Homo-oligomer: A and B are copies of this chain.
Amino acid sequence: MQTSDLSDHISQRYNKDLEDLRNNVLQMGGLVETQLSLAITAIVTGDSELGLQVANDDYKVNKLEVLIDEECNRLLATRSPAAGDLRLIVAIIKTITDLERIGDEAEKIGYLASKLAEMDRPADSYRELKSLGNHVLQMVRDAMNAFARLDVAASYAVVREDEDVDEEYDAITRQAITFMMEDARSIRRVMNVTWSARALERIGDHAKNICEYVIYMVEGRDVRHTEIAQDAE
């Protein structure tokens, strides 16, 4: 298998720096997953304080991004990496940008959760946001696992999964418009719901991006904007 060959290659050839770099990316992914998970909890439980805490903690994600970015630049400058090593570092430079943006969206969701907590709560405790949130949280987890194991098949699965997330988002938006038309007093609240849904949908996009970098890293070809990527849109 190409994947296991590449894994072997990595464990044999890459020095400790590259291994540390990969671990830092996984650590950043773990932090982003936690932030997203807490933001969803804050919405579902109406916990204003938790929402604000998530928003305040985004700086931790940003700090990790800058650290990893600097380490990538240092390795590029001092080790002149080639072939697979180079693809790994370029893929990491892109991956951390998407992780940082997921952090930004989690920050937004945290703020929106604190606003929603102050408003009337629907009987179903935002079941639709919980469902969409858990869906994209799983996508982020799967993306980071695919990154950790350089798993191309799992990466394609996440790329395809994004289709379902987009449909779920569209359904929430249609429902939101219906609610607002039926009851004008719900508009402010429902707008916060649609913004939360939009942020979650964008997180799905970022998870998909990360998986496309994994495919590029392993197979050395760019699948973005190709038929496979288009099919999954």
Contacts and interface: CB of A to CB of B under 8 A. Distances in A.
For the complex formed by this chain, how many copies does it contain in all? 2
Task: From A72, A87, A173, A225, name the one whose CB has the most chain B CB atoms within 10 angstroms.
Answer: A225
A62 B233 CA distance: 15
B73 A87 contact: yes
Contacts of A80: 80
A70 B184 contact: no
A157 interface: no
Interface in A54-75: 59, 62-63, 65-66, 69-70, 72-73
Given A77-B83, A77-B86, A65 B225 contact: yes
Nearest to A72: B90
Given A184-B181, A184-B184, A86 B76 contact: yes
Contacts of A177: 187-188, 191
Contacts of A73: 86-87, 90
A90 to B, nearest CB: 6
Interface of A: 59, 62-63, 65-66, 69-70, 72-73, 76-77, 80, 82-83, 86-87, 90, 93-94, 97, 173, 177, 180-181, 184, 187-188, 191, 194, 198, 222, 224-225
Q: Which 6 A-B pairs have the closest CB atoms?
A: A80-B80, A62-B225, A181-B184, A180-B187, A66-B222, A181-B187
